[in-house]
Structure 1
Amino acid sequence: MLDSTTKRKLELNDQAGITLSKSFQSFVVEVGGYDNLPFDERSCRNYISEARRLRLGDGDAEALSNYFCRMQSRNSNFFYVLDLDGESRIKNVFWADARSRATYYYFSDVITFDTTYLTNSYDMPFAPFVGVNHHGQSILLGCGLLSSENTESFIWLFKSWLTCMLGRAPKAIITDQCRAMAIAIAIEEVFPNSQHRLCLWHIMKKIPAKLGSHSQYKMIKKQLKTIVYNSLTVDECDENNWQKMIKEFNLDNNIWLTSLHEERNKWMPIYVKDKFWAGMSKSQRSESMNAFFDDYVHSKTSLKQFVEQYDNALKSKIENEKKIGFHFFQFNHARNNWLSY
């Protein structure tokens, strides 16, 4: 019988890409031998297999099926794909409506990908692909529901999305630092020619949680922001200011800062300024999309209700895009008339 602590360790290790056999061996070493374990490797394997499936409630699978059938009957270009386990149970889901597929053709330069939304509420990450249109609006370019945030799931999702978009990879992709390793591996395999950047806003948002307990927190925060936003050259940023900050505040053992420094070429403005990011380098496109869906779903919303409300949310967003497009047309028309006088 697996207790809650063991289950949690198994899931964390699985998400980190650690094989089940290695996880099981760590339990064996921890208790001093196989005879001291109240469970075997098969029990661990069965649990992980179960944990990797979407947490579907009553009516959820039927609601998904009905929604996909309804959307395809309306437009044959609606795309969806299901990832099933060996017993034909749903593990992961991806879908994109016809409008998202058509829109991507024109706005495929930069996308953001974020799995932090709804994770706690549903215990299954909602993974939207978000772009930006010519009016600066966030646009939904497909989304998935994942049973696990591991490399295997991300590779499956990215390949599904790439197939949906007829093999047209984005020129650049911005992701959250969470699950950075698993996502980075998946991006390298599926989008090898796309520029990958970590969301600066996500990183800076974590400063209070990562450094707030330090006695000189306010000074560290001020100096870190100065380094990130005001550095004019790579040498100034790295060798001079960053290293000086680490030594001055004795931060050599801070794991978070060390990891950021190792990946500095993926998030610091001075390192990525020579690439095109469609105005999304410092913005939180996924957050604005998440806030949009917050008007339709909440922590108590079931997956069945979510699928139904998703359609309503999408219709509302399309209507809003049309209004902004109409106002933009009116403005240009009035300006051109004024200039003609």
Structure 2
Amino acid sequence: MNQDNQFEEVEDRGSAEEEWEPKPRMVFDSLDNLFQYYRSYGNRMGFEVIIRSSRKGDDGEVTNATLACSCTRKSSSNTRNAFKLYPVTKIDCKAWVGAAVCGNRKWQICSVGLNHNHELSSPTKTRYFRSNRGIQPYVKRRLKVNDRVGIRPNKNFNSMLVEAGGPENLTFLQKDYRNYIEKVRRLRLGAGDAYAIQKYFLKMQKDNANFFYMMDLDEEGRLQNIIWVDARSRVAFKEFGDVVTFDTTYLTNKYDMPFAAFVGVDYHGHSILLGCGLISHEDTETFVWLFESWLACMWNCAPNAIITDQDKTMQNAIEIVFPGTWHR
């Protein structure tokens, strides 16, 4: 009797999964509804869903789209580092759904691929997928207020964690919280602050023509990133720029923007500052801007070797800007 019940339970569960599977000719009211359905299916199965491609018609409206597992397509890297610490996540997975707009403006699934070439995640861990994470507006307001009154990031996040009853009940991770707070703090650096900094650097450049600085502003004139190198550092690089260390730390000011420093070592083993900057975010795009600006300052002479921490975004930027430099 127990064996029969167990068999019936397994059979029912298998039937339920088949009912959830996407099939050709399934119709949805909109592309968003199709995406929500396929994402729910992905959560049940244990994979994250992305919009791999789309195509617009003459009227500018999307008429075709391909939804796929986030492991679709192949990743390539030109790194020479044989000791990569980060696995390749895109492995050309063939699980996908192709859909198009029908005559009645509804969306219909045209083709389906169900096979994955990788191990699927546990459904209990799908909440960690980027597409499933988000900070609700009322939570954003509270986090912003707490940050403005000086509550430290760890305490701010931990209070939300305790109130929610555990990490499994939060819709975002600590990384999402930190990224949001960094964005909020960046917006506090208004156009007036950028003007004041530029005015000061112009004075420095007037006193010494070899003083170098570069500013990166957003569309509203707010300072996002800045780098400056004085004349002494530029001269020192010619002598001691073979090996450079790069690191980011945080200043104790109201902006809490990451402070980036390029450092070399002289003949006596003393550290020499070879340039520094304030950056808005620690992502690959920002580091590429910073490295390219610093390289231009140093007459496009890249160091022979650069030492950083094990930050993936730094590694990506170094491969782009310093392809011939040994990275450790």
TM-score exceeds 0.5: no
Larger radius of gyration: 2
Query: By percentage of residues, which structure has more strand?
Result: 2
TM-score by length of 2: 0.44
Q: Which has the higher contact order (CA 8 A, sep 6+)?
A: 1
Query: By percentage of residues, which structure has more helix?
Result: 1
